[in-house]
Amino acid sequence: MSLTMTATMVINSGERKPEVITLSNGIRVVFDVDKGHPTAAVGALVASGSRFEDDHTRGLSHFMEHILFKGTEHRSSLEISSAIEDVGGELNAFTDTQYTMFYMRVPSVHTALGLDVLSDILLHPLFDPAAIDLERRVIEQEIYAFEDSPDDVVTDELLKGIYGSDPVASNPLGTVESVRSFRRNDFVDYFHRHFVAPDIVLSLAGDVDVDASVRFLEDSFGQLAKGPGKAEWRIPIPGNGPQGDRASHGAGIHGDGTPRFRPVFEAGVHSESRLQHLWGQHVESPVPEGSREGGPCLQHWFFSREFQQYWIAGHLGRKLPRECFARPAGHP
């Protein structure tokens, strides 16, 4: 068994450091041990998301996340959830643009169980065609719900406006058409391309036994086949969209419900930290003075470090007042 260990950055307390252990096939395992509470969290971060998809596989990463919980070679869907929930734990997953996260939280005495279930769903999926057909309907409803949410539609169209055809602008949910097109062989092929070493990062936090966990992970995840290499984490380049420049954009909705975009600040001129200082972060916006006749101006804004757009503004009013995109008071 060939393992390497390195220490990484100091965490907030400044009293201990997470440890990173590399399994023999290149998969990294991050340990953040905290004996203060008898709980543990185990997780797996997989390089599987919409930025790795093409026209044929649009939405497959998210569908894969769902289907991996629907049965393995050793457990049914009910047995997967019951194994964790019967000991007072929880399990879940989510898919983003550049990764899919699977995680479980359990009492620390059941850490081994959490690791066993996690390895089972990620190493021994069944891909039952009947389960795929049933889950297809669930995801279609998620897409319809997304399309009924103005906030979600604006954000989705904003990314397309900035990055155009770049996969980073694709909705992780996919489309109803793409979701209906997937068959079992699509899942099998995608699984063997993306759920491979070294493109998985495992994590354990809480009251965990590092040595025992490493032995289990080496015997399970450490035997996973290697892929062609680490996934390319390419930085998307703004400019493919209709604006054609590197400006951050505000997004609104016209009176007829269609999205609209407008450059707000040039990237590199107004730093993220400066904007956070001026406007705050992840906060609800008040209606700017003088714009009340047009209805609500900005519903929310937030900052994103991932794709270099500094803020997004969702507009729900009947018209978009000029004040919505004015520079903050005192801004040069």
* Residue 251 backbone phi and psi in degrees, to 5: -120, 135
Which residue type does 21 have?
I
First to last CA, the chain: 60
Which is catalytic among the residues 65, 135, 157, 218? 65
The SS3 call for residue 31 is strand
Residues 6+ apart with CB under 8 A from 89: 104, 105, 106, 107, 110, 114
- Alpha-carbon gap, residue 69 to 127, rounded angstroms: 10
- Alpha-carbon gap, residue 170 to 178, rounded angstroms: 12
Q: How far is CA 163 from CA 31, 54, 267, 281, in A?
A: 36, 15, 14, 23
* Sign of CA pseudo-dihedral 156, 162, 164, 166: negative
Catalytic site residue 65? yes
Residue 169 burial (10 A CB sphere; 0-12, 13-18, 19+)? buried
* Residue 19 backbone phi and psi in degrees, to 5: -110, 140
Active site residues: 65
